[in-house]
Amino acid sequence: MGIIQPPGNLPGNPWEPISMAGPSGLDIIKTKELEEFMEARGLYESPEESLKRAEVLGRLDQILNSWVKKVTQNKGYNEQMVEGARAMIFTFGSYRLGVNGPGADIDTLCVGPRHVNREEDFFGELYRMLGEMPEVEDLHPVPGANVPIMKFKFDGISIDLLYARLGVWVIPEELDLSVDSVLQGLDEKSVLSLNGCRVTEAILSIVPHVRNFQTTLRCVRYWAKLRGIYSNMAGFLGGINCAILVARVCQLYPNAVASFLVSRFFKVYSQWKWPNPVMLCPNQERSLGLPFWDPRRNVRDRRDLMPIITPAYPYSNTSYNVSLSTLCVMKAEIERGKEICEAVEAGKAGLISLFDPFCFFTAYKNYLQIDITARNLEDFMNWKGWVESRLRLLTMKVDRDTWGQLQCHPHPDGFLDKSQQFRSCYFVGLRRKHVGCDKKGELFDIRSTIEEFKNCVGIYTSLKPGMCIGVSHKKRSDIPLFVFPGGIRPARCSTGGLGKVCGEAAEKSRNFSPLQAVEGVVGRKRKADESDTSNKFRKCDYAATSRSEALARDIKAEEGASVQPSEYSLTPLQEQVIRTCSSLFNDGGEEDLTTPFSTAASASAVPQKPVINFSFTSLVQANS
């Protein structure tokens, strides 16, 4: 198929930088201040922890080599074969990119020879070996995952271990995973396992200045976590998404330092016209014939709403979990970031306001609460992992069944209810997308949507008695207290809307910090001023609106080059997405969302005032 040029809306070479200018003295000062700010926030690990991580990796390398030799011997190979048998480990993700913080896990890949398989040897013999070691804790294999993984803690350091079986009898001492020939003859799971390392190395080789890239990426990841949009599983940005987005900005401004790159990150992506993909290099067909992201050939790829493409073959979309609702949330947050950066450049605000935490549990009047329970720790961990991998489907199904008119904002984290053993809760904020006053009294019945979601979760092949899932509607005042730090419900945050970010008081409570659970009781109701909305979304201009065209012209006129290349034709579905997402969010108080329900599905009477109505069962055992 030749070379795929990343599509866009502006003429010019897509791989040319926008500006080759170096940093000003003020940029250097601001970058130093930014680094000091992140260090004060504890985003850098100590030298002692770095040394301990290196020691753990060295010990793990010894264990894996001993494991391969043992498997080779048990399978009856000769002494020469046993002596030459070895495994190699590689790191990827935040640790390899140099942006990991204290307590972060280490993404690790083990590469083994062809006679050491995944099912019997990796999840069998190696699992038993690790389970017998006193340094190993919380050992949790996930062989059924899309990318099979073994999770554990080794001497207090969290490890995520993947395995790839190469098509050679002996692993060479100098193994280069970046060459395509390493993929020859591999099974699908091994190709996927190798992909993390290959993508990480490709990114590091593409960015002009690694340190500037690392500082900018660390800053963007921190911003995304505080604003509640850092979770690939929930349909938001993950680590690899952020890395590719930041790397693209580094390509456009190769000589810029971190403070300038952070500002341009928000400026570039606030005017990016999704679903035009973000790509770091052209996608080229290779002789191996592996499937890769190509919307010209693959109908499924045309449905992606926010394609962010990996730079290593086989190219893939890292943001396939993004839904209509989560894309709107991210667009609003990026717009907010752009406005803050503009205020900082004008001397009207400090960059610290960019990191004000988002008050999720005061931002909406209505929520869906998803509860999961199990009978023991092993069942709970397995059930929890499965449900978390399916939660994104709830948002997608609500988007589909309400024609994109009901905004769903999933919280990226789960909450443990310590008042009940083996119970975890997840929350989704709800809001009507206001298109016109004629829609104001419309009722949305999502009972069948909820049932369909529970059926999708209930097909879990390892389902056991006691594994339950329930979905219920909660008003803001009824959110259980165990989700709040210290079990104390905070006062409503008021940021004055996303557009009024300059000089506003920061939110005082971090609803996205780890849960310090207390007994799970329903909080008392309290009256709130419904004209005060803590999260006022701005217009989502996915199409070539006059505003986005003006922004594009501003960048081009200012800096003399294009951000995106030639025009990309949209599919009918994408055009529908664009029309739907171009609606304005409510700038005032929200309507009440009432949910009369019982343990059985019930039809509720039409209320006297305009509401959005939800009706579905509250708790259903998945194992019936």
d(C-alpha 411, C-alpha 326), whole Å: 10
d(C-alpha 230, C-alpha 217), whole Å: 13
With left for phi above 0 and alpha for psi between -120 and 50, is residue 282 left, alpha or beta?
Answer: beta
d(C-alpha 316, C-alpha 304), whole Å: 11
155: three-class secondary structure by DSSP: coil
Distance of CA 359 to the CA centre of its chain: 19
205 annotated to bind ligand: no
Is-contact 584 416, C-beta < 8 A?
no
β-bridge partners, 163: 110
Is-contact 330 237, C-beta < 8 A?
yes
94 annotated to bind ligand: yes
- Give the position of tokens 């708790």: 619
Distance of CA 599 to the CA centre of its chain: 33
For residue 194, the 8-state DSSP code is H
CA nearest neighbour of 424 among 411, 413, 415, 436: 415
Residue 141: cis peptide before it, omega within 30 degrees of 0: no
Is-contact 213 207, C-beta < 8 A?
yes
105 annotated to bind ligand: yes
CB count within 10 Å of CB 343 equals 18
d(C-alpha 580, C-alpha 596), whole Å: 29
294 annotated to bind ligand: no
542 annotated to bind ligand: no
107 annotated to bind ligand: yes
CB count within 10 Å of CB 47 equals 8
361 annotated to bind ligand: no
CB count within 10 Å of CB 415 equals 20
β-bridge partners, 371: 425, 470
106 annotated to bind ligand: yes
Residues in binding site for ATP: 92-94, 105-107, 160, 230
Residues in binding site for Mg(2+): 105, 107, 160
Residues in binding site: 92-94, 105-107, 160, 230
